[in-house]
């Protein structure tokens, strides 16, 4: 019943069956519990932080609190195969590095992993970005805030 309500709330009840949504959910959390068995799961963690000249407002879909640090997972409902989705996951690197910086500041704990989860295909893609959020975002967005194609 909850699955049907969620699908209707997002306007996709005609695109996916509630039974399939339950299978996707179960498969994903089986992977999470297998990989991070001791993790405390936090859903929809709101963020707000100044990153140099940028201001971040967002919500991390899933934060896994482990003894070694936090793992961030963001869900993206895009279809595709492994190669296409791996490439697409890279386009979210800026978002993930900003989330990493905000969570590390808020908790004082390191972020030990950033992932994009594609529930339709079941892929969980590691999006590792090195360096500070400020440096990464400055490379992505020019000083005038206008991005050239």
Percentage of residues in the chain with pLDDT exceeding 70?
85
With beta carbons less than 8 A apart as the criterion, state whether 97 and 58 touch: no
Is the pLDDT at 148 greater than 60? The verdict is no
* Alpha helix ranges (H) inside 1-79: 2-9, 18-35
Instruction: Provide the whole-model pTM.
Output: 0.80
- CA–CA dist 125, 100 (Å, integer): 16
Categorize the per-residue pLDDT at 20 as very low, low, confident or very high, splitting at 50, 70 and 90.
Answer: confident
Q: Which residue reads 């919500």 in tokens?
A: 59
Q: What is the mean pLDDT of the chain?
A: 83
In this prediction, residue 132 has a pLDDT band, given cuts at 50, 70 and 90, of low
Angle in degrees, 0-180, between the axes of helices 133-140 and 93-107, rounded to the nearest 10: 150
pLDDT of residue 51: 67
111 near 128, Cβ under 8 Å? no
**pLDDT of residue 19 exceeding 80:** yes
- Confidence band, pLDDT 50/70/90 cuts, at residue 113: very high
**Confidence category of residue 22, pLDDT binned at 50, 70, 90:** confident
Query: pLDDT tens digits, residue range 30-87?
Result: 999 999 999 999 999 998 877 667 777 889 999 999 999 999 999 998 888 888 988 8
C-alpha to C-alpha distance for 34 and 31, rounded to whole angstroms: 5
């Amino acid at each position: 019943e909850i699955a049907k309500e969620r699908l209707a709330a997002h306007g996709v009840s005609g695109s996916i069956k509630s039974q399939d949504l339950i299978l996707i959910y179960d498969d994903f959390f089986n992977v999470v519990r297998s990989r991070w068995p001791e993790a405390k799961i936090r859903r929809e963690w709101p963020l707000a932080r100044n990153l140099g000249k940028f201001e971040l407002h967002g919500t991390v879909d899933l934060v896994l609190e482990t003894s070694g640090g936090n793992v961030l997972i963001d869900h993206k409902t895009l279809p595709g195969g492994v190669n296409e989705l791996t490439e697409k996951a890279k386009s979210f690197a800026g978002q993930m590095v900003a989330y990493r910086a905000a969570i590390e500041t808020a908790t004082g704990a390191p972020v030990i992993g950033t992932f994009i989860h594609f529930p339709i295909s079941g892929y969980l893609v590691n999006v590792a970005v090195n360096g500070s959020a400020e440096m990464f975002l400055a490379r992505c967005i020019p000083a005038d805030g206008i991005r050239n194609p």
